[in-house]
Structure 1
Amino acid sequence: MSALAIENIHKRYGEVETLKGIDIDLQSGEFLVLLGSSGCGKSTLLNIIAGLAEPTGGDIRIGDHSILGAHPKDRDIAMVFQSYALYPNMSVARNIGFGLEMRKVPLAEREKAVTETAKLLQIENLLERKPSQLSGGQRQRVAIGRALVRKPQVFLFDEPLSNLDAKLRMEMRTELKRLHQMLKTTVVYVTHDQIEAMTLATRIAVMRDGRIEQLGTPEEIYDHPATLYVAGFVGSPPMNVLDATVSGERLQITGEDQAVALPARFRGSVSDGQRVKLGTRPEALRLVAGDEAALQFKARIEVVELTGPELVTTARIGTQRLTACLPPRSALTPGEERLFAVDADALHLFDPENGCRLAEG
């Protein structure tokens, strides 16, 4: 039985359809990330699960019970928002335990739950402070503690780390991962940050225009993107995509007198003269050293950026851009032409008309 079942959910606002048939089965203990750009419908879907909005069609089930029409407090869920939404006049301890207080949980039981939760979040020394005396990271821990203390069936997170600086975001990602591994809780997490999605999720639903473009593990999403949109959205820098044409057993780069071998696994799914989009991850590229049996591209270096652990290099193949992530001490000069190598199994082919990945095998 699914911990959370989202069945053919639609949502309309007048003539505008923001959700266009969402189907997801979430098993107990899974960490699902709804990933997408602003306006794709991910927060709308989260609000429907929470009971803050009702769908136009479809069903939401927790366990074997439909929760549509149920009041948010009766859905056995807890939600953490982008804004901390803490009560400024209450102590940390009372903020964490306020939901239990409203449910008339006995004082001794409530205090025990608050203490255990604070210890889990490593904020037990902050229980007597007010929110104004806390840092952003500490406030977010309190907001998470207020959700944890209830021990619901499903946790909902709506971009909870967006207000934190880069260092705190990284620390809180680690903390959320640790908590999930310890508690084995079921989580639905909304973000536009693909790094958060890749590091936290057991599965990712990449959303676009009210639909799911791809649902899979982080490895599946990254290594086998189902569409050009997913290939470009997940990954930093995003996947390189070059226009090419099938020419026998070669891929001719559009506008250039360059071609690479057509990987054998695609030969049954393309035809001679067919236009394709050729994709490769920047980190799959390397500078040619000596005799290489790998596929090769000749490109003119434009920009070289040292990030510390890698050298992000932007080059041009004719009018098309190629980005490569290289070792930090690579010797490159803007304006020079260099050969880049890539292994055949790191190439992806997409249909330029519908953006879908071409079949392999």
Structure 2
Amino acid sequence: MSTLEIRDVRKSYGSVETLKGIDIALASGEFLVLLGPSGCGKSTLLNIIAGLAEATSGDVLIDGRSVIGVHPKDRDISMVFQSYALYPNLSVARNIGFGLEMRKVPAAERDKAVREAAKLLQIENLLDRKPAQLSGGQRQRVAIGRALVRKPRVFLFDEPLSNLDAKLRLEMRTELKRLHQMLKTTVVYVTHDQIEAMTLATRIAVMRDGRIEQLGTPKEIYDRPATLYVAGFVGAPPMNMLEGTVEGGKVRVKGSDAALPVAEAHDLPDGAAVIAGIRPEALRLDDGAAASLPARVEVVELTGPELVATMRVGEQKLVASLPARTHLTEGETVTLGFDADALHLFDPETGRACGRG
């Protein structure tokens, strides 16, 4: 287990700055997920940690020692790629042990390490097969096994599950979670999938345009999004965003008579424009809740475990995730209730959560 520290890392390609000052400190055994859309800089940052790209400025430290300028093979890290990168002509056993073979590790020691990794990954019966004889999930297990046998100080994962179908992704997420709990290794994991981030991470760094929008635990990211961007990116369906104005300690929703309570901690003046955020799953058919919204039902979709209803509050769109047995008719008007602390307020100019600087 090792610590990892990233200090003011910047990366430019000519006049284009892709990383704009990244600062992260990981304790030993943490599982950090770099979460964001394509082009936000997450893979660039991972490659800088691995030594596959050079930072324009800044520093990367493993166990307190800088690895800037250190060759990738000497950083004591292992990386798992999206494409598996297996040798098609080698058996599973040789693919897993190839790195050890190149380091001249004795055959007996190498064989023991390969079998231990295969047992952890539950692929002991596949060791004599070639990659072409494996499923996508099995190939990814082999790629992870190749990283495991080196027993590195830091594991790096670059969207390792994105080539798998939905069922296999779920299985591999569970497997990765189990492995981390067993091995307690330090992990940096890149993905654009918020479900992977929420289920795997001890901390998430939500990235946007080469910067970290918010760094925190999955619960902090979900319950207290620091910006409109984070609020809209994390959550499925995404958080509802209603334009409004503060009037007499309430938020008057634009184009509607609805007035939502404002927590005293926000201390917003009358006339202040705000964006009121409410997660779809926080809404329910009104049962005397502290806060409520009249809404007109437009579209109703049964997903199986829940009913997703698209509605209108005035002319603004609102989505509610309700119990599957809820009966709604398109065109009817209902009253939706929610707890007052489920309301998030954002400054429409800065995009930042009100009361968070």
User: So what's the TM-score if we normalise by structure 1?
Assistant: 0.97
1:307 and 2:303 matched: yes
Give the deviation of 1:83 after TM superposition. 0.2
- Aligned to 1:23, the other structure's residue is in SS state strand
- Aligned 8 A contact 2:312 2:318 in 1: yes
Report the counterpart of residue 67 of structure 2 in structure 1: 67
Report the counterpart of residue 275 of structure 2 in structure 1: 277
**AA partner of residue 338 (structure 1):** V
- Aligned 8 A contact 1:10 1:57 in 2: yes
Aligned match of 1:329 in 299, 304, 325? Answer: 325
Deviating runs (4+, > 6 A) in structure 1?
none
Number of residues paired by the alignment? 356
Aligned 1:1-361 pairs, distance under 5 A: 3-266=3-266, 268=267, 270-289=268-287, 292-359=288-355
In structure 1, distance between residues paired with 2:37 and 2:330: 33
Give the deviation of 1:293 after TM superposition. 4.0
Calculate the aligned-residue CA RMSD, in Å: 1.0
**CA deviation profile, 1:183-221 (whole Å, cap 9, x unmatched):** 001000000000000000000000000000000000000
Give the deviation of 1:67 after TM superposition. 0.5
- Aligned to 2:94, the other structure's residue is in SS state helix
Give the deviation of 1:262 after TM superposition. 1.9
Give the deviation of 1:257 after TM superposition. 2.0
In structure 1, distance between residues paired with 2:335 and 2:264: 23
- Aligned to 1:333, the other structure's residue is in SS state coil
In structure 1, distance between residues paired with 2:329 and 2:170: 33
**AA partner of residue 306 (structure 2):** E
User: So what's the TM-score if we normalise by structure 2?
Assistant: 0.98
**CA deviation profile, 1:106-130 (whole Å, cap 9, x unmatched):** 1100000000000000000000000
**AA partner of residue 11 (structure 1):** K
Point out where structure 1 has 5 or more consecutive residues left out of the alignment. none
Q: Work out the percentage of aligned pairs sharing the same amino acid.
A: 74
**Alpha carbons of structure 1 residues 223 and 334: separation in structure 2 relative to 1, 3 Å:** same
In structure 2, distance between residues paired with 1:69 and 1:227: 35
**AA partner of residue 194 (structure 2):** Q
- Aligned to 1:265, the other structure's residue is in SS state helix
In structure 1, distance between residues paired with 2:7 and 2:33: 17
**CA deviation profile, 1:216-240 (whole Å, cap 9, x unmatched):** 0000000000000000000000111
- Structure 1 window deviating more from structure 2 (312-321 vs 30-39): it is 312-321
**AA partner of residue 272 (structure 1):** D
- Aligned to 1:61, the other structure's residue is in SS state strand
**CA deviation profile, 1:266-305 (whole Å, cap 9, x unmatched):** 2x2x10110001001110000013xx14211011101111
